[in-house]
Amino acid sequence: MLMPPFNLHHPETVEEACELASTFLANDESFDWVAGGTDLLPNYKWHINVKKHVISLANIKGIDTISMHEIGAMARLGALADSEDVHPLIASAASKVASFLIRNNATLGGNICLDTRCFWFNQSEDWRRSIDWCHKEDCGTGSDCRVIPNQNTLCVATYQGDIAPSLMVLEGLIHIIGPSGQRQVPVNEFFKLDGITRNVLESGEFVLKVTFPEGVEHRVGSYKKLRVRESWDFPEAGVASSWIVGQPSSLRIASTALESVPRYHQSEIDAIEEVFSSDLVGSLSKAIMKSIKPVNNTALPPRYRKSMVRVLTKRSLHEILGDKA
C-alpha cells in the first residue's frame, strides 16, 4: 500500500491555518486537516478519499491545553490518559483508545472527527473496485450502499470513536474555528446522522478545543467498552455515564460505536419518571439498549452489540452509583 502523493502544509498559527483553508476554498481545491494522522494516513494508504492538499495542525502552538475545564484539539491521547489534571473519565476513555504507540500520536480533535467505518469500505482500493465501490466513495458510478441496499442517499458507516460519549456526559462544548470566525456547539449536537457528512463542521472549519462547565469536577463518571482484542481494537460498543452524587437529575448517559453517530440518551432518561437509584439500573439499561439500531458493518454481529449495550450500561451505572459488583 503506497501512500499517494499530496501537498502537506504546516501553518504555525490558527490564523494562518484559516487563511490557507480560505485560499483552497476560493480556488476550489480540496484538502483535509491532519492532527496525529493515525486515522487519516491509514485511509490515504488505502486510497480512500485522498485530497490534493493536507493541512497539518501539529505546528500550531497553544492548541494542546490539558486541564479540567479545557482540552485543546491537539492534546495527545497518551498525555490525556496519564494526566491528573483532566477529568478522570476523560483519562479513562483515552487510555482505552487503540494501543500505547497510537495514543502517543493520536489527538482529541482527531478522535472527535474520526471518519466513520464500515467493512465494505475500509478495504484496499482493489477490494473496493471488485465490489464496484459503494455510496460513500462511488467513483462516479452511483453505487448503492452495501449495508442498506437499493439506496444511494444515506451512508450508515459506524462512528467508532471512544471519547465522544465521555465528552457528552461531562457537558462538553466544542469550539470551532474557520474562515468565517468562531462558534461553539455542545458535543451532543456536533454529530450528523450520515456516515459521509459526519458532523456539523462547514468547509474550512476545524475543532479548536473542548471546554467543560464549572462544577464538572464534581461529576463521577464511568466508560465501558466492548472490543474484540483488548490490546488495540476499535470499540464495537461503548457506554459512558456520569452524575453528581446525590443529584439524580444530573444523570447523563451516552453511547458510541453503534450507529453513524455517538448518541446522547436524554430522552431515555426522561422517559423513566422515577428518581435515579440502583433500583432503576435494569429498566434504564433496557431502554438504552432498545433505542439503538446497530447495522451489520463492523467486526461483531449487530444483535450481539445491541445486547451488550444493556450489559455495558448496567456496569457503567452501577460503577457511578458505587454499587458493589
Task: Return the bridge partners of 139, or none.
Answer: none
Q: How far apart are CA 38 and CA 88, in angstroms?
A: 24
Tell me how far, at minimum, the Cβ of 45 lies from ligand FAD, in Å.
10
Q: How far apart are CA 164 and CA 111, in angstroms?
A: 8
Is residue 223 a contact partner of residue 92, using CB atoms and an 8 Å limit?
yes
Q: Quick one: which of 76, 87, 128, 146 contacts ligand SF4 (CB under 6 A)?
A: 146
Neighbours of 121 (CB within 10 A): 27
118 lies in the binding site for ligand SF4 (CB under 6 A)? yes
Distances (CA, A) of 47 to 2, 24, 120: 9, 21, 14
Name the binder of 35 from ligand SF4, ligand FAD, none, CB < 5-8 A by kind.
ligand FAD
Q: Which residues make up the interface to ligand FAD (CB under 6 A)?
A: 32-40, 42, 57, 73, 77, 97-98, 102, 105-107, 109-111, 113-115, 161-162, 206-207, 232-235
Give the pairing type, strands 263-264 and 247-256.
Answer: antiparallel
Q: How far apart are CA 15 and CA 20, in angstroms?
A: 9
Q: Which three cell numbers stand for residue 4?
A: 499517494
128 lies in the binding site for ligand SF4 (CB under 6 A)? no
145 lies in the binding site for ligand SF4 (CB under 6 A)? yes
310 lies in the binding site for ligand SF4 (CB under 6 A)? no
**Complex with ligand FAD: residue 222 or 321, whichever CB lies closer:** 222
Identity (one letter) of the amino acid at 34?
A: V
Sequence-separated (6 or more) residues with CB below 8 Å from residue 34? 8, 40, 41, 54, 55, 56, 57, 58, 110
Q: Which residue is nearest to ligand FAD (CB)?
A: 110
111 lies in the binding site for ligand SF4 (CB under 6 A)? no
CA dihedral 219, 220, 223, 224 (to 10 degrees): -150
- Count the residues of the shown chain that bind ligand SF4, applying the rule CB under 6 A: 14
Name the binder of 39 from ligand SF4, ligand FAD, none, CB < 5-8 A by kind.
ligand FAD
Tell me how far, at minimum, the Cβ of 66 lies from ligand FAD, in Å.
15
Tell me how far, at minimum, the Cβ of 199 lies from ligand SF4, in Å.
16
Name the binder of 251 from ligand SF4, ligand FAD, none, CB < 5-8 A by kind.
none
195 lies in the binding site for ligand SF4 (CB under 6 A)? yes
Q: Quick one: which of 120, 190, 191, 212 contacts ligand SF4 (CB under 6 A)?
A: 120
46 lies in the binding site for ligand SF4 (CB under 6 A)? no
Q: Rounded to a whole number, what is the distance in angstroms from the first to the last CA of the chain?
A: 47
Give the pairing type, strands 70-72 and 206-211.
Answer: antiparallel
Name the binder of 98 from ligand FAD, ligand SF4, none, CB < 5-8 A by kind.
ligand FAD
Q: Which residues bind ligand SF4 (CB under 6 A)?
A: 118, 120-121, 134-136, 145-147, 155-157, 195, 297
